[in-house]
Amino acid sequence: MTILILGGTAEARQLAASLVADGVDVISSLAGRVSTPSLPPGRARVGGFGGVDGLADYLRREQVSAVVDATHPFAAKITKNVVQAANRTDTPLVRLERPGWREHPRSSSWTWVTDASAARAAAEPGRRPFLTTGRQSLEDFQAWADRDVLVRLVDPPAALLPQRWNVILSRGPYRYAGERKILTDHGIDVILTKDSGGTHTVAKLDAAGDLGIPVVIIARPEPPPVLLLKTVAEAVAWCRSPRDLRFVGPSIT
Ligand code: NAP
């Protein structure tokens, strides 16, 4: 039995480690976006598949028994592609997605938006924003060259950023004290983030709440029409006896 894990998240790495420890043949797939990815145990491959056709070919070629889509909640394209590829090849597929922050005690005080440009509009009054929406969204904020934006990224930005912007390069998990210090040291007056969920990056939101700093948060895209699991333990159990594809919507071609 070969399990393909679409990864790039802490949960994907934990799942690979658990399955490999159980003697399961695992291939973890990474997009190759970060320069030094932490590679999970088991086999790994890096780079895109070449769309739905390439992914379907890959599933057949590698005789993949089942797929766990454990990509980031905002990696919408690969999540859509794997639904189609799995459907086409009759490969059992499940989605592992950590719960978002809708249940956070302060979530009702945040401004929820649907994308990066709506986030910029909602955060417009801020003069010292803390931007943690990811490298791919930076273009949407170029109009803010006149303000002191603090950006946090894993890897350096691909393009030159406005002169007044400051960049912090780091990778979570982040703790409350450090996050609070960043917010106060930089005089942050609004935080922009995505509903990534989990515990690794939530501390900034706790600190913002305590300091009275407004939060603008981008809501998750629609989940795919497949069985959704919230924990690595559930995914491990599913991999032991993967069920058939379970689309809840109309069949996808
Ligand atoms: P995306 O927009 O959904 O995908 C764009 C393309 O990248 C896909 O069509 C696919 O190329 C390739 N790709 C994405 N994930 C892949 C994977 N695990 N293995 C092989 N190819 C993959 O994805 P994204 O938002 O750029 O995210 C890329 C990766 O970074 C994901 O694996 C995700 O888990 C991780 N990540 C994303 C975020 C985020 O905020 N988006 C945050 C943290 C980590 P082909 O069409 O050629 O197959």
Do residues 205 and 215 make contact, with C-beta atoms less than 8 angstroms apart? yes
Do residues 130 and 191 make contact, with C-beta atoms less than 8 angstroms apart? yes
Partnered with residue 132 across adjacent β-strands are 193
Please list the pLDDT of the chain residue by residue as tens digits (253 residues).
999 999 999 999 999 999 999 999 999 999 998 888 888 999 999 999 999 999 999 999 999 999 999 999 999 999 999 999 999 999 999 999 999 999 999 999 999 999 999 999 999 999 999 999 999 999 999 999 999 999 999 999 989 999 999 999 999 999 999 999 999 999 999 999 999 999 999 999 999 999 999 999 999 999 999 999 999 999 999 999 887 555 555 444 4
Q: Does ligand 1 have an atom closer than 6 angstroms to the CB of 72?
A: yes
Q: How far is the CA of 193 from the centre of ligand 1 (A)?
A: 18
CA pair distance 163, 155, nearest whole angstrom = 18
Q: Does ligand 1 have an atom closer than 6 angstroms to the CB of 232?
A: no
Q: Does ligand 1 have an atom closer than 6 angstroms to the CB of 201?
A: no
Q: How far is the CA of 136 from the centre of ligand 1 (A)?
A: 11
* For the CA of 79, the nearest atom of ligand 1: 3
Q: Within a 13 Å sphere around the CA of 216, how many CA atoms are in the beta-carbon half?
A: 24
Cβ within 8 Å of residue 175, ≥6 positions away: 203
